Structure 1
Amino acid sequence: MATQAEQILKEKEIQGIVFSLYGKIFVSTLLVIITFFVTQTLYEVMIISLVNLCLIFVMSIMIRLVQKNKAVVYVGLFCILVDLLIITILPFVWYHAVGGESIPRTYLIKTSTHYIIVSTLILNAFTLQPIYPLLYSFGVVISQAWMLLYAKADPRFLSTESFKEAFLGSAAHVNNYITNMGVIAILGFILAYLTFRIRKTVLVAASNEVRSSQLSRYFSPNVIQEMASAEESFFQPGGKEMNVAVMFCDIVGFTQISEQLGPEKTMSFLSEYHSQMMGSIFEYRGTLDKFIGDGMLVTFGTPKPSPEDAKNAILAGLAMQKKVADWNEKRIIINEKPISIRIGIHYGAVIVGNVGISTRLEYTVIGDAVNAASRIEAMGKEVKKSFLISKDLFDQVKDTNSIHAKFKSLGSFALRGKAKATEILSVET
């Protein structure tokens, strides 16, 4: 089974093949138009136009197949075969248009197909498959070598070492023709190597994209961004003191819920619940510190603080409550019991950084503010309120009027572990 990185690479390869096919359609269309201005006989116009129109039709079908991810490899190889047939047939079409066997076969190797060959070779490199330009250049060399031998078999064949005579006269510069074949072969190898290098680069980029996606399952987007641009010191044990908003959130009566659901359904329930909450948390630049069973520890202001951290924490809490209300409506429809959550938020100093050893680190927050937030969330059960914040958090919000909620002071409480009483406010919509 293909990995995610390989699937992404396959998508890029398909895009390259489609681009290559569109490029060939453009070249074919251009060739048909030019034919009407440079050809000398109606036969030549008809044959070249018919061949190119058929080619455009076939390539259009190939594009549809590739875009549907059908027979991608076979389409690529078929296109190489068609390209080789075209550059082999074209000189004969032109040869017969000017007289055929009545003139020397020298004309076959004096036709200007090299421009078409080189442009098609470059287009084949866009497929991100090194084998395509390699096969095409190899096929071109064989085709052109056979054509040279076929032309030289004619007793009337004329050759010259003068470029002027070859350009103006009826003779051919054989050495130049062979040199062109060598250049095409070398160009094919170069493009194959460059395509190989680009393919590896795309695969590495795709792998990094997948890793980043996988990391998002364990870390918040803010932390991933910080890790991506961080220096080595970021990944060492230790931390720094910062003022942040700390949120604790729990499901009310989760113990009873888990007993009723059983282990398997409980895990499924939690997975769906957490996915509902994460959208609201990340929307307001929150950082998920950890899941604690049904609970969550979330911070606002890590790894980089902002003046909006306290406000974002409240807005995230309100959004989480709204998500739960919407989810409950769906749960009731399918005969499942609605749930409720408790949220507690505090603002204060914490140590933000890596806890552990160099081989096993956890990016987290520790400190008095974390404990206070936990106590505030638990207090919701005593005062029968679902959303509580500290006055310390409220004071950090510069424009409370922009928050569509009511704030009511419940008085000061002595939180366990804190000598100074803390004023608590309820938040209600």
Structure 2
Amino acid sequence: MQTKTEILLREKEIQGITYSLYGKIFIAVISTIISFFIANSLFEILSTVIVNIILTISLYLLLRILRKNKFVMPIGILCVLIDVALITILPFIYYNSVGGDMVPRTYLVKTYTHTTIYGILLLNAFTIQPLYPLLYALGVVISQCSILLYAMADPRFQSTESFKEALLGNAAHVNSYILGMAIVGILGFFLAYLTFLVRKTVFNAVSNEVKSNQLSRYFSPNVVTEIEKADDSFFTSGGKEQNVAVLFCDIEGFTQLSEELGPEKTMATLSDYHSRMLDVVFGNGGSLDKFIGDGMLVTFGTPVESPLDAENAIRAGIAMRKSLNEWNLVRKEAKLKPIKVRIGIHYGPAYVGNVGIATRLEYTVIGDTVNAASRIESLGKEVNRSFLISRELLSRVANPDTLLVKFVSLGNFALRGKTKMTEIVAVEAV
């Protein structure tokens, strides 16, 4: 079974092969157009057009198969074989266009296929699979050297050591031709190694992407971002004091509900509930600190505080209730009991950072503000309100009217464990 890293790397390889195939189709089209202007005969034009049409259709069919995410490696190798076959055919098309057996086979090695050879070699490197440029270079060297041996078997074959005579005359510069093939081989090896390095880099990038996705299953997006860019000092015990908005959310009557549903259905219900709530929390810039059974501890302003933390916390609470109402309509149609929650939010200083030991750290918030938010949420049961906030939180909102809800002061309360009175405000629909 493939790992997620391998699956993502395979997708990158498919993307590379796709680019390579499109590039080869482009070369086929361009060479077809050019053949009308530089071809030596009608035979060369027709041969070039037919070969390129067959090539284009073949590459298009391979693209269709590749999009189904099947036979990736076989398609890549087949593309290499097609490339080598094409490079082998082209010299013979040119040779036959100037007379075929009527002229010396010298003309088999006096073609302009080298430009095409190098272009296709570069396209094979786009696949981020080092095997392809290496196989292609090896195939080209074998193919072109075989053509050279075939040409030299002709008694009429002419060779010269003069570059000028080879360029302007009927002779071929064999050493130059062999040197060209050596360059193809060396370049193929170099590109294969370069592709290997690129593939390794892509693999590391994909691995980091997978790790980031895995982290997001345990941490909220804000914390994941902080972890990704943090240095070693982030992964030590310690933190700092800063102002945060702390939101507690709890399901009413969860103990009774879990008894009625049983363990399996309870876990399924919680999973659905948490998924819906977290979408809202993350959408409003919040961070999940932890799940506490059916409850959630959410913070706004971690790891970096913002002037909008208090407002975002209230918006999240409003959106959570809206999402819950929508979910309850779905549950009603399925003849399931509605889910009711209590929300409590407070704002103030808290200690934000890692607690624990080097081998087991937890990024969290600690302090009186956290305790107060928990007490405010619990107070909802006593005053029969489902959404309570502190005056400290509301005072941080620049324009409460924009939230489109009604804020009703319930007076001052002595929260359990606190000596200072706290003004509690109920959040109600307009």
Q: Which one is further off, 85-94 or 70-79?
A: 70-79
Q: Which one is further off, 155-164 or 70-79?
A: 70-79
* Corresponding residue number in structure 2 for 1:330: 330
* Corresponding residue number in structure 2 for 1:252: 252
Deviation at 1:217, TM superposition (A): 0.8
* Corresponding residue number in structure 2 for 1:156: 156
Equivalent residue letter for 1:157: F
Q: Which one is further off, 112-121 or 65-74?
A: 65-74
CA distance in structure 2 between the aligned counterparts of 1:4 and 1:220, rounded to whole angstroms: 21
CA distance in structure 2 between the aligned counterparts of 1:99 and 1:229, rounded to whole angstroms: 67
* Corresponding residue number in structure 2 for 1:176: 176
Equivalent residue letter for 2:397: V
Please state if 1:10 is matched with 2:3. Answer: no
* Corresponding residue number in structure 1 for 2:188: 188
* Corresponding residue number in structure 2 for 1:423: 423
**1:296 is paired with a residue of what secondary structure?**
strand
Equivalent residue letter for 1:37: F
Q: Which one is further off, 253-262 or 42-51?
A: 42-51
Deviation at 1:94, TM superposition (A): 1.0
* Corresponding residue number in structure 2 for 1:53: 53
Map residues 70-149 of structure 1 onto 2, 5 A cutoff: 70-149=70-149
* Corresponding residue number in structure 1 for 2:33: 33
**2:425 is paired with a residue of what secondary structure?**
strand
Q: Which runs of 5+ in 2 are unaligned?
A: none
User: Structure 1 vs Structure 2: percent identity of aligned residues?
Assistant: 61
CA distance in structure 1 between the aligned counterparts of 2:169 and 2:258, rounded to whole angstroms: 93
Equivalent residue letter for 1:314: I
- Deviation digits for residues 107-141 of structure 1 (CA, Å, limit 9, x no counterpart): 10011111010000110111111111000000001
CA distance in structure 2 between the aligned counterparts of 1:100 and 1:295, rounded to whole angstroms: 84
Deviation at 1:418, TM superposition (A): 0.9
TM-score using structure 2 length: 0.99
Q: Which one is further off, 232-241 or 206-215?
A: 232-241
CA distance in structure 2 between the aligned counterparts of 1:13 and 1:26, rounded to whole angstroms: 20
Tell me the C-alpha RMSD between the 2 structures.
Answer: 0.8
* Corresponding residue number in structure 2 for 1:232: 232
Deviation at 1:79, TM superposition (A): 1.1
Map residues 181-330 of structure 1 onto 2, 5 A cutoff: 181-330=181-330
* Corresponding residue number in structure 2 for 1:400: 400
CA distance in structure 2 between the aligned counterparts of 1:232 and 1:52, rounded to whole angstroms: 57
Equivalent residue letter for 2:87: I
- Deviation digits for residues 249-270 of structure 1 (CA, Å, limit 9, x no counterpart): 0000000010011111111111
* Corresponding residue number in structure 1 for 2:389: 389
Equivalent residue letter for 1:197: L
* Corresponding residue number in structure 2 for 1:412: 412
Equivalent residue letter for 1:153: A
**2:415 is paired with a residue of what secondary structure?**
coil
CA distance in structure 1 between the aligned counterparts of 2:15 and 2:241, rounded to whole angstroms: 49
Deviation at 1:348, TM superposition (A): 1.1
Deviation at 1:231, TM superposition (A): 2.1
CA distance in structure 1 between the aligned counterparts of 2:415 and 2:52, rounded to whole angstroms: 83
- Deviation digits for residues 26-77 of structure 1 (CA, Å, limit 9, x no counterpart): 1111111111111122111111111111111111111111111122222111
CA distance in structure 2 between the aligned counterparts of 1:317 and 1:280, rounded to whole angstroms: 9
CA distance in structure 1 between the aligned counterparts of 2:101 and 2:396, rounded to whole angstroms: 93
Q: What is the number of residues matched between the two proteins?
A: 429
**1:412 is paired with a residue of what secondary structure?**
strand
Equivalent residue letter for 1:245: A
CA distance in structure 1 between the aligned counterparts of 2:104 and 2:251, rounded to whole angstroms: 91
* Corresponding residue number in structure 2 for 1:353: 353
CA distance in structure 1 between the aligned counterparts of 2:248 and 2:149, rounded to whole angstroms: 83
**1:243 is paired with a residue of what secondary structure?**
strand
Map residues 60-75 of structure 1 onto 2, 5 A cutoff: 60-75=60-75
CA distance in structure 2 between the aligned counterparts of 1:114 and 1:39, rounded to whole angstroms: 17
CA distance in structure 1 between the aligned counterparts of 2:145 and 2:42, rounded to whole angstroms: 30
Moved over 3 A (4+): none
Equivalent residue letter for 1:133: P
**1:272 is paired with a residue of what secondary structure?**
helix
- Deviation digits for residues 258-290 of structure 1 (CA, Å, limit 9, x no counterpart): 001111111111111000000111111111110
CA distance in structure 2 between the aligned counterparts of 1:132 and 1:348, rounded to whole angstroms: 61
